[in-house]
């Protein structure tokens, strides 16, 4: 399992519209092969900044499967116009997870 990580900076005044569009777009990513789950979080210090974490079975499920899909075009149309600058996306493997 790998985690896709992106900090999304949304244009001024567009937070509410972004959140609505994200809710509309969520079923798209959730339907993809290898999708395990995702979280969208809002920054406390900047309410136009969001953290998106998506769990995939493999790196390629995201980078090839999702990004190469027709569904990704719909995702882009719904969401990419909100971002300024366009986010860097990277991927991580868990090393250690602890809970109290």
> Does residue 20 bind its own copies (CB under 8 A)?
no
Residue selected from 6, 21, 40, 78 as contacting its own copies according to rule CB under 8 A: 40
Reduced to 3 states (helix: H, G, I; strand: E, B; else coil), residue 81 is: helix
Indicate left, alpha or beta for 13 from its phi (over 0: left) and psi (-120 to 50: alpha).
left
Q: Is position 16 an interface residue for its own copies (rule: CB under 8 A)?
A: no
Site for its own copies in 47-86 (CB under 8 A): 49-51, 59
Shortest CB 57 distance to its own copies, Å: 10
**Residue 43, both tokens:** 């920054």
Q: Which of 58, 68, 83 is nearest to 7 (CA)?
A: 83
Q: How far is Cα 67 from Cα 73, in angstroms, rounded to an integer?
A: 8
| Residues near its own copies (CB under 8 A) | 2-3, 5, 19, 22-23, 26, 30, 35-46, 49-51, 59, 90-100
């Amino acid at each position: 399992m790998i985690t896709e990580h992106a900090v999304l900076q949304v244009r001024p005044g567009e937070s509410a519209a972004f959140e609505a569009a994200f809710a509309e777009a969520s079923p798209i990513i959730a339907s993809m092969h290898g999708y395990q789950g995702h979280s969208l979080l809002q920054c406390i210090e900047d309410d136009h900044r969001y953290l998106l974490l998506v769990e995939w079975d493999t790196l390629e499920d995201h980078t090839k499967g999702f990004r190469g899909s027709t569904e990704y075009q719909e995702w882009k149309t719904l969401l990419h116009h909100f971002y300024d600058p366009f986010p860097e996306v990277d991927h991580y493997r868990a090393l250690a997870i602890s809970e109290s």
